[in-house]
Amino acid sequence: MRTKLGIVLSAVVCLALPALAHHGFDTEYDRDKPIVASGVVSKVEWTNPHMRVYIDVTGKDNTVTTYNMEMTSPNTIRRRGWTMNTLLPGEKVVFEGYLGRVVESRGALQKIAKAATPDQALFSQDGPDADNPNFPTAKPGGNR
């Protein structure tokens, strides 16, 4: 009986620890720092626990900022129909999300679409403005 109880308790602890370790949105990102921009995909990382899309955005002063935008897990993205060819480096995109509290070039991606078809989001995730049906919500380039 003690052995079974020990196994059950160990399983509960092992399953609970990853949930406790996972960060919440407000821990890393700032809902008061929205970004809506257009740019060129420089890299797509299919890594756990979160996929990342790197997007080069050229500012008004011609400086290029690479935004490291976090998505959900690769498994969730695949279940939404993505393949390794859905979004490739070199493609022009429009996107929106929220910038980081500390590192502003790192953000939480909320929506992304190819620039040629901005009304057809490739990815859309619930966030602080999930009820807003407009995409993009502002003209790209109006970063904040």
Residue 96 lies in a domain: yes
Q: What is the total count of domains within the chain?
A: 1
| Residue 141 Ramachandran class (φ > 0 left, ψ -120 to 50 alpha, else beta) | left
Query: Domain of 68?
Result: 25-144
> Which pLDDT score, from 0 to 100, does residue 133 have?
58
Provide the token pair at 96.
């929106």
Give SS3 for 14.
helix
> Which pLDDT score, from 0 to 100, does residue 111 have?
94
Cα three-residue angle 26-32-36, rounded to 5 degrees: 110
Residue 58 lies in a domain: yes
Residue 8 lies in a domain: no
Residue 4 lies in a domain: no
> Which pLDDT score, from 0 to 100, does residue 17 have?
42
| Residue 9 Ramachandran class (φ > 0 left, ψ -120 to 50 alpha, else beta) | alpha
Residue 80 lies in a domain: yes
Provide the token pair at 141.
């380039």
Helix (H) or strand (E) holding 92, with range, is: strand 92-100
Report pTM: 0.75
Residue 18 lies in a domain: no
Q: What is the mean pLDDT of each run of 10 residues along the chain (144 residues)?
A: 60 47 72 94 96 97 97 93 95 96 94 93 72 54 48
